[in-house]
Amino acid sequence: MLSTENAVVVKSSVTSSLKAASDVEAFKIESITNVQLQQIVNLDQGDPTMFEAFWKKVGEDLKTTIYGWQSLSYFANGKSCCWFMEPKLEQEIKILHNLVGNAVVEDRHVVVGNGSSQLIQAALYALAEPLNLPNPVSVVSATPFYSCYPQITDLVRSGLFKWEGNAYEYEKEGAYIELVTSPNNPDGEMRGPVVNRAKGMVIHDLAYYWPQYTPITSPADDDIMLFTVSKCTGHAGSRIGWALVKDEAVAKKMVKFIEINTIGVSKEAQLRAATILEMISHGTSSDINNFFQYSHSVMAQRWTKLRDALSLNNNHLLHVPRFPLHYCNFNRDFVQAHPAYAWLKCPPGINLEKILNEEKVRTRGGASFGCGPEYARVSMLGRGEDFDLFMMRLPKILELLASSN
């Protein structure tokens, strides 16, 4: 992650500072500072490594061992319409939702996928294919929408569905699919559909509807609800997502998509995800905290640091959304949302992503979310060191904004 620029700084330090052995320590300190100053901080992707310390503390208490003879077959469960889903994973998914109270699981079909990206495509297919229309069904989402929806929808220029942009501006007749992310990525708002027209179909992407990010006010009860371990437990490398689906025909079509697209989902990842969810639901060993207690405190601390740093911003040049207190049924207390992303806004006419880039903080600019360049999304999900470097650079970023304004 070191830039070439940084290598030059270190090299010139070597020639000028290493005059005596006693200088070595001073050099070390100097070069660490240089490294920190020059290091690119990547807060663009939502790579959820923020709970690593928790899993390290759990340590040997959580391991998954798979022998060579296990899980040879494509099949995992002849009784489920999702024939490639490990029964243990389905069971743990239902237990966790019942414990957290964030989604209705009774009489729902569970469909496992290779992350929620694949499940979005599976759901688009399941809703659009049976209509057998001559033209693709429009797919919309309200701005600011998740930046990957357009490319996921139009990946292979499907004749079944087509990205049509901002749901607020959608005015066509006929069938359409609205993608509703709640809490929303990037801005953390709780959301419902906005088009609300006849022949509308809705996919609810609830990846962030977990107590570390937002108050759990009631169990979601939508037709198609998508979740992922990436954002729930932080295990993005596993590529495990799941859908809770009311209509059996839709669930079967989603399974069909995953069957043709990837012939199912890794059994290793499913078995490990089941073990992880089980640990979260069933217990805490004596020396570790409850996962949601820990993860909630990580997110709350980061948001407090960010709000504190922005409050020093007398000119009010940089904003993040405010969230009202809501009673969280899981935490049994009134809590604020601490979203996975900070949706930053500066005065119009300034390219915020560019300003952040100048200070070597990589973020995702507003345009990717259907908004103006005065917005940028900053991931709050990265490693602590990266978040701290961002905090260190924030005063300089505010200075740059003041001079650009």
Instruction: Closer to a second copy by CB, 191 or 383: give it.
Output: 383
Q: Which of 152, 309, 310, 391 binds a second copy (CB under 8 A)?
A: 152
Shortest distance in whole angstroms from residue 324 CB to a second copy: 32
Which tokens sit at 14? 């070597």
Q: Is 294 in the site for a second copy (CB under 8 A)?
A: no
- Pick from 19, 157, 322, 332 the residue near a second copy by CB under 8 A: 157
- Among the listed ranges 95-103, 137-145, 152-160, 316-324, the one in contact with a second copy (CB under 8 A) is 152-160
Sole window of 88-96, 258-266, 321-329, 370-378 interacting with a second copy (rule: CB under 8 A): 258-266
CA distance linking residue 175 with residue 127, whole number of Å? 10
Is residue 344 near a second copy by the rule CB under 8 A? Answer: no
Of the residues 156, 173, 287, 322, which one makes contact with a second copy according to CB under 8 A = 156
Region of residue 222 (phi > 0: left; psi between -120 and 50: alpha; otherwise: beta): beta
Which one of residues 17, 166, 266, 281 is an interface residue with a second copy (CB under 8 A)? 266
Residue of 246, 190, 184, 187 lying closest to 218 (CA atoms): 190
66 burial via Cβ count (<10 Å: 0-12, 13-18, 19+): exposed
Question: Phi, psi at residue 384, to the nearest 5°?
Answer: -55, -40
Confirm or reject binding of residue 349 to a second copy (CB under 8 A): no
CB atoms closer than 10 angstroms to residue 243 = 30
Site for a second copy contains 114 (CB under 8 A) = yes
Amino acid at 129: E
281 interacts with a second copy by CB under 8 A: no
Binder of a second copy out of 100, 137, 201, 240 (CB under 8 A): 240
Residue 258: both structure tokens together: 């995953």
In angstroms, the CA 215 to CA 233 distance is 17
d(CA 142, CA 119) in angstroms, rounded, equals: 20
Two structure tokens written together for 179: 């993608």
Does 49 contact a second copy by CB under 8 A?
yes
Q: Does 269 bind a second copy (CB under 8 A)?
A: yes
Dist. CA 255–CA 85, nearest whole Å? 10
- Kindly state the smallest distance separating residue 148's Cβ from a second copy, in Å: 7
User: Of 6, 51, 127, 393, which one interacts with a second copy (CB under 8 A)?
Assistant: 51
Residues 6+ apart with CB under 8 A from 405: 315, 317, 347, 350
135 CB burial (10 A radius; 0-12, 13-18, 19+): exposed
Q: Which of 41, 76, 96, 397 binds a second copy (CB under 8 A)?
A: 76
Instruction: Count CA atoms closer than 13 A to 196's CA, side-chain side.
Output: 4
> What is the smallest separation between the CB atom of 206 and a second copy, expressed in angstroms?
18
Q: Judged by CB under 8 A, does residue 385 bind a second copy?
A: no
Q: Is 393 in the site for a second copy (CB under 8 A)?
A: no
Q: Which is nearer to a second copy, 27 or 55 (CB)?
A: 55
Binding site for a second copy (CB under 8 A): 45, 47-49, 51-52, 55-56, 58-69, 71-76, 114-115, 117-118, 121, 125, 129, 148, 151-152, 155-161, 230, 234-240, 257, 260-269, 272, 276, 279
